[in-house]
Amino acid sequence: MKHHAIGAAVVLAMLPATGAFAAGLDRSGQPVAPIFQQGNLVELGWTSLFPTVEGKESIGAKRDISNMADKYSFPSAAVKYQANDQWSFSFLYDHPFGADAAYDGINVFTNNGTPGATTRAAMIPLGTTLTPIVQALNPGFTPAQVQAALPGAIQQALTVGYGPVTSTQAQAAVAKYTTAASDTNVTNVAVTTQSFSLVAGFQPNKNWHLYGGPVYQTIKGDVHLRGAAYSVFNGYDANFSNSGAWGFLAGAAYQIPDIAFRAALTYRSAIKHDVDTTENFVNYQKLGGAVGTSSTTKIKTPQSVNFDLQSGVAPNTVAFANLRWVDWSSFSIRPGQFGAISNDLGPFVGKPNGFNLVEYGKDQYSATVGVGRKFSDQWAGNMSVGWDSGTGEYVTTLGPTRGNWNLGIGAQYSPTKNFYIGLGAKYFWLGDAKAQVASNVGTTTYQADFKDNNAVAVGVKVGYRF
């Protein structure tokens, strides 16, 4: 079973092209497959995902929540140059992490259909402890009495069920601690990253391949929180300007070319970003002054480990597997103004040190296994089954899925020995999730259930060997 007999199937086996929907913000799966190809190579890819993520409120009226996951696409590219029998150099480009989501309709994640929706106080928990702050509008209240009444109202706002405030006085009072909506009435998020990896490979003999190099990563995003679910954070905006920072990857592979066997372990470092951030929550008043609107947010994208395994199992047939770990439990985002407000409110909800805008409870583990087969000199195909653990039972409202199972198929056509085109598709059964806002992380309180959801991903790659 010589390497050339199953070469096309090996190429295809390393062409998932449709990782696309994983735990946390994971998208591409950060593959390094092109560095193992024979000779020189140029490869371009494109992946598109079409998700359906629907649910139902777990509080208030328990209304249906329509699809909040936007479709998205991202490119990938690779160039590999084999300098000699021992040294090779590769450039890899992909979008490792990202998010695209927007709520719609009338529910606790939007201000649609709500009287006074132009104010972020339009929907807020209504309870008996709001009475003191309504009374605070009376001339008889001193500043000290106003401040004394505030904690009870905040605690109620962050912990109790939700509904529209019917009292104009209540809306006006709470509006002192919120602000006016500007550009949207719905919760939405968009996060984009890019990764540029320069990889040097060294093969001391035919069995070992050592590789590594620098990685430059960019990140940018926007977050808008709207609706009753976010209580006093209803109306919060954050814009994260484009930021770049350096990390590295390193790995080693053991291979037996005659049977197309390879076991490769790849580590990618965490990358620390200092992101210029503009926040819009200007009318929120701390008990002692206004909170600023510009700051620098520290974001550390997670470290990860990929283990790739493949082997010829029959003439023209190769089996493959990928195992991946991502350190999402160490990931968090706490912009400056959000953090200052959460520090004020945290003690009222059992979080004396405040809380994060985004964080994940557990690390991500995923596995994919499959088989690829070469049918002729021009055609090959593959099939795979995958699983993703998710990042915990309770998830962020900005990405309310809990892992997945997936089934993938692919085909590759090589009209010449140097040129190929691969097409792939995956269907994802998305895990049911309980979505909770930031102030509830670490508790069993959640705002919505998302069940029976799915996604379809399609991908294409074209490559030329020279």
At residue 22 the predicted structure's pLDDT band, cuts being 50, 70 and 90, is confident
pLDDT (average), residues 77-82: 96
With bands split at pLDDT 50, 70 and 90, how would you rate the model's confidence at 148?
Answer: low
Q: What is the pLDDT of residue 200?
A: 98
Return contacts of 73-77, CB within 8 angstroms, 24+ apart: 73/46, 73/47, 73/48, 73/49, 74/27, 74/28, 74/46, 74/47, 74/98, 75/44, 75/45, 75/46, 75/47, 76/28, 76/44, 76/45, 76/46, 76/47, 76/461, 77/43, 77/44, 77/45
Position 405 pLDDT exceeds 70: yes
- Name residues whose C-beta falls within 8 Å of residue 267's C-beta, 6 or more positions apart in sequence: 249, 250, 251, 303, 304, 305
The answer to whether residue 349 scores a pLDDT higher than 90 is: no
What single letter denotes the amino acid at residue 9?
Answer: A
**Quick one: what percent of the chain has pLDDT higher than 90?**
61
Which one is predicted more confidently, 28 or 115? 28
User: According to the model, what pLDDT value does residue 453 have?
Assistant: 96
The reported pLDDT for the residue numbered 1 is 41
> Once rounded to an integer, what is the mean pLDDT over residues 76-102?
95
Q: What predicted TM-score, i.e. pTM, was given to this entire model?
A: 0.84
> Among 17-31, 68-82, 356-370, 405-419, which is the least confidently predicted range?
17-31
- Measured at the alpha carbon of residue 259, what is the angle toward residues 418 and 202, in degrees to the nearest 5? 70
3-state SS class at 354: coil
Residue 188, pLDDT score: 94
Please give the share of the chain, as a percent, with pLDDT higher than 70. 78
Rg (CA), the chain: 25
Least confident of 11-25, 290-304, 413-427: 11-25
Closest CA relative to residue 424, chosen from 25, 6, 33: 33
The residue among 267 and 393 whose pLDDT is bigger is 267
Side chain identity, residue 198: L
pLDDT at 45: 92
DSSP summary character for residue 277: E
Other CB atoms within 10 A of residue 39 CB? 11
pLDDT digits (tens, 9 = 90+) for 197-217: 999 999 999 999 999 999 999
pLDDT in tens, 244-268: 999 999 999 999 999 999 999 999 9
Q: What is the mean pLDDT of the chain?
A: 82
pLDDT for residue 155 is more than 50 = no
Whole-number pLDDT of residue 151: 52
What the block records as the tokens of 151 is 């904690």
| Higher pLDDT among residues 150 and 111, named by residue | 111
- Decide if pLDDT at 84 tops 60: yes
Say what the pLDDT of residue 137 is: 37
Q: Assess contact for 5 and 316: CB atoms under 8 A.
A: yes
- The average pLDDT across 126-152 equals 44
Q: Which of 93-97, 106-110, 144-148 has the lowest mean pLDDT?
A: 144-148
Tell me the domains of the chain and their CATH numbers. 3-111+181-465 (2.40.160.60)
pLDDT digits (tens, 9 = 90+) for 90-101: 999 999 999 999
Band of pLDDT at residue 61, cut at 50, 70 and 90: confident
The pLDDT value recorded for residue 111 is 86
Are 293 and 301 spatial neighbours (Cβ–Cβ below 8 Å)? Answer: no
Please state the rounded mean pLDDT for residues 439-451.
Answer: 91
